[in-house]
Structure 1
């Protein structure tokens, strides 16, 4: 599927990229990050222009987020029934819903790029949980801008070796996620210690 998608990207450019990021935000199994990486490499070689590549990837992701939010808002009960038949997706949705409810806007921001496997489920959870639409949209747009900027930028930088660019992205995001979890646990332990000291 990846080779086929890249051939379409080379032939049709930005519309395919927009459709790919849109589909990925609805939990469809498409390699959106790799498509943006490749599009960035096409920009570096002069085959595509930067503004349309970044704009189409961003617009597709933003529209996908909005579609996921609307589906969650209108189909909360249906979601619970449907996901109950798919345990793996139900676990992702539960994690995304809990993360979104605890973290609100910053949680939406982080699920766009740092914890991206949760992103499509966070969209549904935000809609089902009636998270304020404007808050969802603004935090989501900021997160999608980070996601697009990261992968298109890496494609530009590593246009001669996309495998290395993908590896840098994977390891860098893994490090940031681990750092975020460490900071969160440290703050949680600090609060717990203060509560225990209070008479």
Structure 2
């Protein structure tokens, strides 16, 4: 995999970096983080310009985020119809919308870099729930600064260790996502096992 990525960087330079980060933000399973590390590594050896490399990755990510949002929002009516057909799905959508109304900015921001594997799905959820586009675009753009900046700069600084670095960062990201899932699942189980006493009282009356 690493050799293939290095070959692609050699043949296509920053163009392939733009394409890869763009596609990764549209839920395409592609090693965008490793590509950015490789881009930083090539910049360290003088084969690429560091500013152009970071700019290509950043533009691809930002355009990809907004494309995912726009696609989900455009076809959101069809998806909403499917969600409304089932009370459980409809309730889940309403809860997602309520959560984004309260914590949307920080969720979009962190999904771009701290829990990057969830980022493309956050883009889709924001589009489906018709979350304010300007807020989405601004906070997403700020988050991508961290994502691109961290990976390109690490590739630049540790150009001879990108494989080990990619493995370590992948493990850290995976752990954070897994921890988040466990926390959310635990919260859901708590709510299920401890129903709202007000609702029980109203049912009884």
- Which TM bucket (shorter chain)? 0.7 to 0.9
Give a deviation string over 1:22-48, Cα, whole Å, max 9, x none.
000000111100000000100111110
Equivalent position SS for 1:113 = coil
1:149 equivalent to 2:120? Answer no
Equivalent position SS for 2:29 = coil
Q: Number of residues paired by the alignment?
A: 176
Aligned-residue offset at 1:165: 1.7
> CA RMSD, aligned part only?
3.3
Aligned-residue offset at 1:138: 0.8
Tell me: CA distance 1:177–1:132, structure 2 relative to 1, closer, same or farther (3 Å): same
Give a deviation string over 1:131-155, Cα, whole Å, max 9, x none.
1111101100011110001110110
Task: Please name the residue that 1:66 is paired with.
Answer: 66
Q: How does the TM-score come out when normalised to structure 2?
A: 0.73
Distance in 2 between the 1:31 and 1:2 partners?
A: 10
Tell me: CA distance 1:72–1:150, structure 2 relative to 1, closer, same or farther (3 Å): same
Tell me: CA distance 1:79–1:21, structure 2 relative to 1, closer, same or farther (3 Å): farther
Distance in 2 between the 1:82 and 1:25 partners?
A: 24
Aligned-residue offset at 1:172: 4.8
1:118 equivalent to 2:118? Answer yes
Task: Please name the residue that 2:24 is paired with.
Answer: 24
Moved more, 61-70 or 113-122: 113-122
Distance in 2 between the 1:79 and 1:12 partners?
A: 37
Ranges in structure 2 where 5+ consecutive residues have no aligned partner: 84-88, 185-205
Q: How does the TM-score come out when normalised to structure 1?
A: 0.75
